[in-house]
Chain A
Amino acid sequence: MYDVAIIGAGVVGGQIARELSRYKLSVCILEKEADVATGATRANSGIVHAGFDAKEGTLKARLNVQGSKMMKEVCGDLGVPYINNGSLVIGFGDKDMEQIKALYNRGIVNGVEKLEILSKSQLERIEPNISKNAIGALFAPTGAIVSPYELAIASIGNAMDNGAELKLNFKVNSIKFKGEVYHISSDNESVCARYVVNAAGVHSDYIAGLAGDNSFKITPRKGEYMLLDKVCGHIVSHTIFRTPSEKGKGILVSPTVDGNLILGPTSVDIDDKEDNSTTAEGLDRIRREVCENVENIPLSKVITSFCGLRATGSTGDFIIDIKNRFVNVAGIESPGLTAAPAIAKYVAQILKNNSLELQEKEGFNPKRRPMHYFSMLTTEEKNKLIKENPSYGKIVCRCEMVSEGEIIDAIRTNPKAATVDGVKFRTRSGAGRCQGGFCSPSVVEILARELKTSVLDITKSGGNTNILICKTKGGGLN
């Protein structure tokens, strides 16, 4: 029996788990996929929004601004890359500038600090590649970028280091409330918990429905992205938005914490909650629109494109409520990543107000070793480590310079990587310009060796995604 079961191992579920792991509670995270952070957290812009977008007085606005202010410290504790690069909303005409003024005023009401409206010349000075047609911008110096999936992985890893449990491949298909206890089941397993937190992203309406709550609906909203080679990461230094429309903040251009350039997302409501395919129209739209906003984007330097589904709630605001010790944390669309640390605090407070005793745990360790700690060491420190463990001297991924030692760490550290994608999103092995062309055969072998299994059992992302299906004639010696 757990005190709290959290359904969904994205950045929201992860941050909540970490927050609850501060206290003397037994916490379990249930995730339907073979790894954490596989949904909207993974296919995410990675932007820490300053907080001028959400309508005054909404939960979104409040948690956005709070989360934005917490993010630097959270990332510092968890060793997650965070860069305070600032963001710009650029305008092309008088109507845009009116909207920018309105955003400025909204930001002030929401509590966003240091906002400024820039003239054309000020804008061009700080962002030389900005479109020649832009006439001004809203500048939010508190805007920042993070690695969204690393934040989720690190949050869950830190929660686990502090006692939380993670059950992967646990696809919840039944929730029963019997004798004041929730019985949560998948096809092959069942757990009991006193409290449930529903952080199931696009599936949170389904999960709520299993518990008898049909008060809201989640529409998956497709967002397609293109990621450009690291040689393009310097084209802009700030995150560049257009003035927003009803469908959201539009297609942005931003450097990533890894030094790439990210373009996207598109915004199309769909029905299928599993359809994260990219489309010719979507990718065309990205190409067209980014060139209107920023000059000199070398679109031929794309290294990958992908698509995520935002969980757009039917109420227009974040849906965070509790009934019978069942907490919905739903409709967490943008700025959900930014808000996640604030959502976690807010959910803990809700649980406390509903009789969950939050007693601080001695020995809670808020820190986690950075995933890329090896690359952050001095040459002397690296050499000391290579001497102790020679696998740190063996480079496996040549594009991102990832050593075998770091891959082994990812397989052995909470939450443990067990798939090729799992290794990729923890170490960046395979995330560079050759996209795993050279390193994936080695990664498959390292996984098989560490997990004491055959290479035939190694998958890209769990389930039936085995990389290799059989031996060749007379092959497969190792």
Chain B
Amino acid sequence: MKKMHQRVRPWLIKNFALPSDVVLELPRITIIGQLHVYIENHKGLVVFTDEELKLKTTKGYIQIKGSSFVIKMMLPEEILLEGKISDVKFIPN
């Protein structure tokens, strides 16, 4: 049953052009230059320093590195980060 379920979702995305972040509950990350990162659909903050931001997602973590980080806004499942971004990394569970 679970296998079936997992197969249906990619099929839906492919054939009905549904947005993948909604259907698969994946984070959507919007990066504006090196200045802003806007992450939606995350599952919580794990680490925040002025050089690193680590967020939990459904399948692992997202790590963003850079310098002089400020969280401009924080809402449930949404975060807007400002600073000088150097890299974004996905860390699987």
A and B assemble together: no
- Interface residues in chain B, defined as those with a beta carbon under 8 Å from any beta carbon in chain A: none
- Interface residues in chain A, defined as those with a beta carbon under 8 Å from any beta carbon in chain B: none
